[in-house]
Amino acid sequence: MVNGHAITISAPSDRAIVERVCAFIDRKIAENDWSPYSTKEAALRSWAKPEGIRKAVLKAKGLI
C-alpha cells in the first residue's frame, strides 16, 4: 500500500522494488533534486512512460 492505494505486484520480490521506488521518489521530493532532469515535470514525464511499478507508485503518490 502506498498512500492508501494498493500496488499490484506479480512476485513477492516486487514488494522490495515498490519500497525502493517509494524511497527514491520521497528522497527526490525532499531534496528537490531532479537530476539528470532539469525540472520535476521533466522527471515525472520520463518516469511515467513505461507501465509498471514506478508509474503505479507515482499515481499512488498523486504525482501523475
* Domain coordinates in residue numbering, the chain: 14-60
Which position has the grid cell 514506478?
A: 54
State pLDDT tens for residues 16-54. Answer: 999 999 999 999 999 999 999 999 999 999 999 888 899
pLDDT of amino acid 21: 94
Q: How far apart are CA 15 and CA 9, in angstroms?
A: 7
| pTM confidence score | 0.84
